[in-house]
Amino acid sequence: MKQLFIVILVLVVLSCKSIYGQEAIKIDPRVYSHYTPDQIEELKANPKKLKCVNFLYSQSFIVNNRECSGCTPINPETFDVATVENYRKQSQRVTIGVSREGHTVTLLSRDELQAIYNTF
């Protein structure tokens, strides 16, 4: 009887997943600082756009921490790319100094981002 219950429960869970589609895409925490609640809801309704926005805030840059004693490295998981977004170029990467210690961030070009977005 217990095995039958487990089999039925598994079937119900699987059918619910197929009915309701994919699991929700997690939103990068940095997005909440730049989008209103209504805009967040719109992103949730558009998985492709949400993936693009998540990529922008989490992977559209490369942190280049300089080796130095006593300095605080830039954390790529909390770095807010919006603070340097206006430096991003159309067809070439750009590197910007982001700290007094000499740490830099390299921004992918807009063309590179578009090519990645097209894969989503």
Residue 116 half-sphere exposure toward CB, CA atoms < 13 A:
16
Confidence of residue 22 (pLDDT cuts 50, 70, 90): low
Q: How many degrees, rounded to 5, is the angle at CA 17 between CA 22 and CA 118? A: 15
4-18, 46-60, 78-92, 102-116: which has the minimum mean pLDDT? 4-18
More confident residue, 49 or 8: 49
Nearest to 64 by CA among 74, 78, 79, 77: 74
Residue 36 has what DSSP assignment?
Answer: -
Residue range 66-118, pLDDT digits in tens: 988 888 999 999 999 999 999 999 999 999 999 988 999 999 999 999 999 99
